[in-house]
Amino acid sequence: MPTRFDAYLAKLRETPVSEHTEHTGRSALETLLNGFATKGTSVQHEPKRDAENGAPDFKIKRKGQILGYVEVKEIGANLDKVLKSDQIKRYRELSGNIIVTNYLEWVWIDRKEVKGRATLAYSNDLETPKFRITSDAAAPVERLIEAFFSQAPQGIDKAQDLAKALALRSKLLRDFLAIELERQSKSH
């Protein structure tokens, strides 16, 4: 039985696993994510860098508000180790709705914990031409991605939340401007 992941898997197979980098399957992943996006939801690859927190690989927005982020690592990357990294700690400050993936394994996290985890396939499966994703393997990943996309966009309900959001953005803007001014003074 075909799944919505068949084209994704085929695209990943175009490059041997040994030649994959973190960036190799990005177009396949972007196509897959867009397949889950509902009307009014956009998937942005390589969003503008945030001076302090960096930039996850994909920013997902619904009607102009940030829904969450997707961070991608190379096939075979140890996601448990990635989840403990400073990079992911910074991203958790940006959002409580994040997917971390190595294209085949998927981990959905919020600001404090892992909300879901699923494996679509393994790297050696990509090298087996007859391997097909079964609906049993696809279903947990599909549910995880659908749950990620079903979250409400980040809103601000309280004055305290607004103050924190503005303070974070002000700090980020200050840091960005300092870096930009330094860059411009060196180039002029």
Task: State the pLDDT at residue 157.
Answer: 59
| Whether the Cβ atoms of residue 80 and residue 65 lie closer than 8 Å to each other | no
- pLDDT score of 158: 65
- According to the model, what pLDDT value does residue 1 have? 46
- Region of 170 (left: φ > 0; alpha: ψ -120 to 50; beta: rest) is alpha
pLDDT of residue 162: 67
One digit per residue, the tens of pLDDT, for the chain of length 188 reads 457 899 999 999 999 999 998 899 999 999 999 999 988 899 988 877 665 556 789 999 988 888 999 999 999 999 999 999 999 998 998 889 999 999 999 999 999 999 999 999 999 998 988 888 888 889 999 999 999 999 888 765 567 766 766 776 677 677 767 777 887 888 87
Q: Could you tell me the residue ranges of all domains in the chain?
A: 6-155, 156-188
Q: Tell me the CATH architecture of domain 6-155.
A: Alpha-Beta Complex (3.90)
Whether the full predicted model's pTM is greater than 0.85, yes or no, is no
pLDDT of the residue at 167: 75
The kind and range of the H/E element at 99 are strand 98-101
